[in-house]
Amino acid sequence: MELIEKMLNGDKRACARLISSVENNSNEAEDIIKTIYPHTGKAHVIGITGPPGAGKSTLTDKLVKLLRKKDLRVGIIAVDPTSPYTGGAILGDRIRMNDLALDPGVFIRSMGTRGYLGGLAKATRNTVKILDAFGCDVVIIETVGVGQSEVDIVKAADTVVMVMVPGLGDDIQSIKAGVMEIGDIFAVNKSDILGAQRTATEINMMLDLSQNLERRPPVVMVTASQNQNIDKLLEEIEKHYIYMKENDILEKRRKLNIKRELVELVEEELRKYVIKETENKGEMESVTLSLYTKETDPFTIRDILLSKIK
């Protein structure tokens, strides 16, 4: 494909077009990924997540400026929620990254969470692949840390930074339940605000209580708006990456993600197939009826449906 050729040669417009293709799950999407797949796997993928208003975009902006000083090429995927009522979205993360817009070594893409058929995680994963193939040394996925789909996205990252801020009240407690475990590094942003130290202490206490941690995540106090301690945060990110590589954890994690992706792809196809099979022939109704009247049981029906595939 001509677009892929152009993209591999560094054409931003072509790269953007390819991203739209995979984002829209167009007919060409699979071919695109097939073609570029050998070019992927080189980038360090960093997930940045945290509650709304934590200052993730500002933090990303400052982090990227440091990465650029090291002459690394950076891709950014900024995910914002789509309105469930209208299907539209306002994607405003670029507001805090305007300085980066003209940097030839930076590519920023805003994404709405949409009602993706194949799942948001799939769309983001494929966008990461394109940016990876495009030559980005680092790909940052920035997303609000609420809801399972967002957690799924950042799981695909090599390093996950959880951004927290003081003054969110009980939120740390609620976040702990689902999202806390995925943080490799914790950043307490707006550390100039009263209560930042307490937030950091709370996180530290919680981490101390957690068992089963391969590596105890560090907690870094930053003030992104004033560019304070961002270098420390980057240092921790780099340390984490090196640690993962040296202890073969990176390979393990990536293999795990590949398996997860594969299972999801197969699941998706299976689901489509079964739905098509049953709905096309009006079979769904009769099967449901036979289950309703207890003539048969769901496991038997499952085996019948699956046998048709073979």
Contacting residue, 9, 20, 286, 296, with another protein by CB under 8 A: 20
CB of 181 vs another protein, minimal distance in Å: 28
List, as one string, the DSSP characters of 24-41.
TT-TTHHHHHHHHGGG-S
Which segment (41-49, 89-97, 120-128, 288-296) binds another protein by CB under 8 A? 89-97
Contacting residue, 47, 50, 112, 218, with another protein by CB under 8 A: 112
- For residue 94, the SS3 value is helix
Q: With CB under 8 A, what is the number of residues at the site for another protein? A: 33
Buried b (16+ CB within 10 A) or exposed e, 201-219: ebbbeebeeeeeeeeebbb
Q: Is 166 in the site for another protein (CB under 8 A)?
A: no
Nearer CB in complex with another protein: 82/124? 82
CB of 303 vs another protein, minimal distance in Å: 35
Query: Do 268 and 275 meet the contact criterion of CB atoms below 8 Å apart?
Result: no
Contacting residue, 40, 110, 228, 290, with another protein by CB under 8 A: 110
CB of 212 vs another protein, minimal distance in Å: 36
Nearer CB in complex with another protein: 108/244? 108
Distance CA 71, CA 7 (A): 20
Distance CA 121, CA 131 (A): 15
CB of 130 vs another protein, minimal distance in Å: 12
- Footprint (CB under 8 A) of another protein, residues 220-279: 225-226
Nearest C-alpha neighbor of 42 from the set 134, 104, 126: 134
CB of 253 vs another protein, minimal distance in Å: 29
List, as one string, the DSSP characters of 167-202.
T-TTHHHHHHHHTGGG-SEEEE--TTSTTHHHHHHH
Which segment (86-94, 137-145, 244-252, 256-264) binds another protein by CB under 8 A? 86-94
**Cα 249 to chain center, whole Å?**
19
Query: Do 241 and 44 meet the contact criterion of CB atoms below 8 Å apart?
Result: yes
CB of 167 vs another protein, minimal distance in Å: 8
Q: Is 19 in the site for another protein (CB under 8 A)?
A: yes
Nearest C-alpha neighbor of 157 from the set 265, 223, 76: 76
Q: Is 91 in the site for another protein (CB under 8 A)?
A: yes
Q: Is 95 in the site for another protein (CB under 8 A)?
A: yes
Distance CA 182, CA 1 (A): 37
Nearer CB in complex with another protein: 125/190? 190
Residues 172-211: x where in contact with another protein by CB under 8 A, - otherwise, as a string: ----------------------------------------
Distance CA 145, CA 164 (A): 10
Residues 113-142: x where in contact with another protein by CB under 8 A, - otherwise, as a string: -x----------------------------
Strand order in the sheet with 74-80: 106-112, 74-80, 138-144, 44-50, 159-164, 185-188, 219-221
- State the residues that interact with another protein by CB under 8 A: 12-13, 15-17, 19-20, 24, 53, 58, 82-83, 86-92, 94-96, 98, 101-102, 107-110, 112, 114, 225-226
